[in-house]
Amino acid sequence: MARLRPLLAELQHRNVLRASVLYVGAVWALSQGVAQLSPALGLPDEATRWFLISCTVGFPLWVAFAWLYEFTPKGFRRDRDVAPDAPLRHSNARRLDFAIIAVLAVAVVLLGTSHLVGQRPQAAGEAATAVPPRSIAVLPFENLSGDPANEYFVAGIQDLILTKLANFGSLKVVSRSSTARYKSRPADLKAIGRQLGVATVLEGSVQKQGDEVLINVQLIDARSDSHLWAESYQRTLDSVFGVEGDVAEKIAAALRARLSPAESAHLATRMSADPVANNLFLRAQYLADQSKVNYDTASMRAAMPLYREAIERDPGFALAHAQFSLVASRLAWFGGGGMQATTLVADARQHAEQALKLAPNLSAAQLALGYCDYYGRGDYDAALKAFAAALALRPNDAEALAAHGYIERRQGRLDAASASLQRAFALDPRNSQLAYEVGLTEKLAGRYPDAERWLHEALALDPENRLAAIQVSNTIVAASGDFLRALAAAQGDDPSLQQQRVHLLTLQRRYRDALALLASIPDSTDNFKPGSAYSLKALWLAELYRLLGDDVRARPLFAQVLPQVRAQLAQREGISRMFVWQDVATAELGLGHTAQGLAAIAAAQAIAEQSGDRLYGPEAAAFHAMLYAEARRPDLALPLLAGVITTPGKGGPYAPVLLWLDPAWDPIRSDPGFQALLKENAKYRPAVIPAAAVVPAEAGTQ
């Protein structure tokens, strides 16, 4: 303390503390000015942040200057002009005290910059701690017409405005999937702003009576619940399309968002000059949006003719071409819904290329082209290039960022895929489908606790997300083999949940219960999708009868489906042909045609290996190993199975705990090679093993 008193006296004498306070006050005042003027000057949002960082770095220089030049009412005086009676006359002591001041100043710099630059990244699913001032969510518009048949039109107007806003790179715009479950006029806008991480909210209503349309919109500051801007638009159906551009422009002005020349030009672009084509497009888009969760092929199929009709009325309708392509690619990938996949793939490519020809700067066209390469050709490098082009046009597009993550997952880069999908979720924080995709990726990586957390988040956001419920069930099985808890997680009357329970009952060797449940599921292409295992209900029934040992019922069903699945080979291309060959192999082996079955398995495995798909590849290898086990060929089954189980990052598609539980391995369970695989994975051995899965060799060694 005795040493500090002279130092403090010298600091006071030289007015260093006063100078420091003056510096801090000036920096604070200037930072407020920068924050207010940066939008008008066209400066980026980070301008204020970097100004503060620069001033923090400059603080030690100011302290040194104040030390060497006394700060007085008459100005600064040089150190040699200090009065002779000043304290700390000894030069060594002065050097020491100056060093102390320097250390303190450097500490301030380190603390300041670590706070400004090194803030912890926001974890996915967390509420945003710092809300960007130029951020907006467009809540569902209210349908004031009283006619539910107009819901598509109301949702379409909302979506058109949102799409216009999403083209502004300086705005953070939350997608429709995150806002869809909110009310049109919610009571607590502040809570919604926090949940979505936005500063402003757009509310609206649409009243459509005949050809007359009234649109009301109001922009609200979610932080203060104060109105920023509002307007009404009275239009006819012939002139209503174009309002979205005016609304977006006024919102950008209210939020002081700087628009590039390209973004300003985009405001002037409209959909189609034909109002009937626009109306058809909105109907199709409404159905397409409904299909995104749970991959509802019936909704996809229903949207297709509406897009086609809109394009027929206006062949230059670029957005309709792009959205038709996206839905066609998605429908082909998820089984076709009774339509021929090869035709869908060809149509998707044609319309994506036409959309790009008509509107080279349309991000939806780039996205459509990317999915043609992804779903249609399995060309992941080309798909990544197209998705990158879409992101360049719309940097905050969660859909394009998620698409990038899907490709990374197919390439086996699970950590990168999870990071991309979590970034997309941060942009779209109430999107149940994105939360599901992150959870699925974590499961594939074998990170089961993280997978369950994300999948439960998806269900919390949307309890109707059946895919999330199914993957919760699968994750429970993979982590522990707890079939009772897995069955509880897959309850519900939806056919997809019923099929999951059939799968779980089969793993438990409860074949009669599985048969009864499977028989109750309606037989349709939407429930039993081509391009997946057991694409025909009759094939699945036949397989269950085979496992039950009832060949009298199994064989006629195998004979019935074999020509049907072989006929599908001409209708499929790419990796989807692999699933057809799997069905062919299942039917051939069920009929006792071992050689033909082995040939079909080899054909399926060749496609899997040639595709380079690191997601379907391991899943396919595990299924092919099961088929080889059925044919009692452990020499062919075990190398594939070991590759799936032991390769890092591939344990997700087939969990080691199932080696003891899955009846598929019963035909080769006593094989020494299989017993060796059990020993290698002994740490995954479940506490309870079905009696049918215990062989004498295993019982004597474990």
Asked whether the beta carbons of 428 and 435 are under 8 A apart, the reply is: no
CA distances for 278 relative to 206, 208, 270, 284, 366, angstroms: 16, 15, 10, 10, 21
Q: For residues 687-691, give the mean pLDDT.
A: 85
The 3-state DSSP class for residue 229 equals strand
Tell me the pLDDT tens digit for each residue of 243-255. 998 898 898 888 8
Q: For residues 240-269, give the mean pLDDT.
A: 83
Q: Using only C-alpha atoms, what is the Rg of the chain?
A: 32
- 135: nearest Cα among 254, 236, 27: 254
Tell me the pLDDT tens digit for each residue of 288-321. 988 877 788 889 999 999 999 999 999 999 999 9
Among 46-50, 602-606, 610-614, name the one with the lowest average pLDDT: 46-50
pLDDT, position 51: 65
pLDDT, position 336: 83
Burial class (CB in 10 A: 0-12, 13-18, 19+), 448: buried
Residue 639 half-sphere exposure toward CB, CA atoms < 13 A: 4
pLDDT, position 477: 95
Alpha carbons 224 and 173: distance in angstroms, whole number: 19
- 395: nearest Cα among 127, 172, 178: 172
Among 95-104, 138-147, 467-476, 589-598, name the one with the lowest average pLDDT: 95-104
The answer for residues whose C-beta is within 8 angstroms of residue 395's C-beta and 6 or more apart is 169
Asked whether the beta carbons of 168 and 263 are under 8 A apart, the reply is: yes
- DSSP for 372-396? IIIIII--HHHHHHHHHHHHHH-TT
Among 41-45, 380-384, 682-686, name the one with the lowest average pLDDT: 41-45
The 3-state DSSP class for residue 135 equals strand
Alpha carbons 625 and 604: distance in angstroms, whole number: 11
pLDDT, position 327: 96
Among 59-68, 87-96, 320-329, 356-365, name the one with the lowest average pLDDT: 87-96
- 27: nearest Cα among 108, 129, 98: 108
Asked whether the beta carbons of 439 and 471 are under 8 A apart, the reply is: yes
Cα 184 from chain centre: 25
CA distances for 481 relative to 171, 219, 381, 400, 451, angstroms: 47, 51, 37, 36, 16
Alpha carbons 464 and 683: distance in angstroms, whole number: 36
Helix axis angle for 398-410 and 363-371, nearest 10°, is 20
Q: Report residue 453's pLDDT band, with 50, 70 and 90 as the boundaries.
A: very high
Contacts 24+ apart (CB under 8 A), 447-452: 448/475, 448/478, 448/479, 449/479, 451/475, 452/476, 452/479
CA dihedral 500, 502, 506, 510 (to 10 degrees): 140
Higher pLDDT, 212 or 395: 212
| Cβ neighbours around 566 below 10 Å, total | 16
- 490: nearest Cα among 515, 526, 517: 517
pLDDT, position 572: 81
Residue with tokens 């409860």: 510
Cα 562 from chain centre: 38
For residue 506, pLDDT beyond 90: yes
Q: Per DSSP, what are the bridge partners of residue 547?
A: none
DSSP 149: G
pLDDT, position 19: 66
- 443: nearest Cα among 292, 689, 654: 654
Tell me the pLDDT tens digit for each residue of 605-650. 999 999 888 888 888 999 999 999 999 999 999 999 999 987 655 5
For residue 702, pLDDT beyond 80: no
Q: Report residue 64's pLDDT band, with 50, 70 and 90 as the boundaries.
A: low
The answer for residues whose C-beta is within 8 angstroms of residue 439's C-beta and 6 or more apart is 450, 451, 452, 453, 454, 455, 457, 458, 468, 471, 475
Alpha carbons 203 and 184: distance in angstroms, whole number: 7
pLDDT, position 3: 56
Residue with tokens 């009325």: 313
Among 434-438, 495-499, 529-533, 593-597, name the one with the lowest average pLDDT: 529-533
The answer for residues whose C-beta is within 8 angstroms of residue 387's C-beta and 6 or more apart is 366, 367, 370, 400, 403, 404, 407
Asked whether the beta carbons of 79 and 68 are under 8 A apart, the reply is: yes
Among 58-72, 308-322, 657-671, name the one with the lowest average pLDDT: 58-72
Alpha carbons 611 and 5: distance in angstroms, whole number: 77
For residue 697, pLDDT beyond 80: no
pLDDT, position 2: 54
Among 74-78, 92-96, 390-394, 483-487, name the one with the lowest average pLDDT: 92-96
CA distances for 46 relative to 39, 252, 656, angstroms: 11, 18, 49
Q: Report residue 35's pLDDT band, with 50, 70 and 90 as the boundaries.
A: low
Residue with tokens 């950590």: 415
For residue 513, pLDDT beyond 60: yes
The secondary element (H helix, E strand) that includes residue 142 is strand 142-143
Mean pLDDT of the chain: 84
Per the rule left: phi > 0, alpha: psi between -120 and 50, beta: everything else, 292 is alpha
Q: Report residue 338's pLDDT band, with 50, 70 and 90 as the boundaries.
A: confident
- DSSP for 157-220? HHHHHHHHHHT-TTSEEE-HHHHTTS-SS-S-HHHHHHHHT-SEEEEEEEEEETTEEEEEEEEE
- 621: nearest Cα among 630, 632, 609: 609
Q: Report residue 8's pLDDT band, with 50, 70 and 90 as the boundaries.
A: low
pLDDT, position 667: 97
Torsion angles phi and psi, residue 234, rounded to 5: -100, 115
Alpha carbons 233 and 160: distance in angstroms, whole number: 15
The answer for residues whose C-beta is within 8 angstroms of residue 149's C-beta and 6 or more apart is none
Among 125-134, 164-173, 347-356, name the one with the lowest average pLDDT: 125-134
Residue with tokens 């391995």: 665
Q: For residues 103-117, give the mean pLDDT.
A: 43
DSSP 676: H
Among 346-355, 495-504, 572-581, name the one with the lowest average pLDDT: 572-581
Residue 339 half-sphere exposure toward CB, CA atoms < 13 A: 24
The secondary element (H helix, E strand) that includes residue 249 is helix 243-254
For residue 130, pLDDT beyond 90: no
Q: Report residue 138's pLDDT band, with 50, 70 and 90 as the boundaries.
A: very high
Alpha carbons 480 and 451: distance in angstroms, whole number: 14
Q: Report residue 7's pLDDT band, with 50, 70 and 90 as the boundaries.
A: low
Alpha carbons 490 and 300: distance in angstroms, whole number: 25
Q: Per the structure block, which two tokens stand in for 434?
A: 């994105």
Q: Report residue 125's pLDDT band, with 50, 70 and 90 as the boundaries.
A: very low
* Terminal alpha carbon distance of the chain: 72
DSSP 690: -
For residue 167, pLDDT beyond 90: no
Percent of the chain at pLDDT > 70 equals: 80
DSSP-H helix ranges across 612-683: 616-630, 634-646, 672-680
Q: Report residue 88's pLDDT band, with 50, 70 and 90 as the boundaries.
A: very low
pLDDT, position 497: 96
Q: For residues 444-463, give the mean pLDDT.
A: 94
Residue with tokens 């309708």: 317
Asked whether the beta carbons of 174 and 196 are under 8 A apart, the reply is: yes
Q: Per the structure block, which two tokens stand in for 675?
A: 């017993």
Alpha carbons 201 and 591: distance in angstroms, whole number: 62
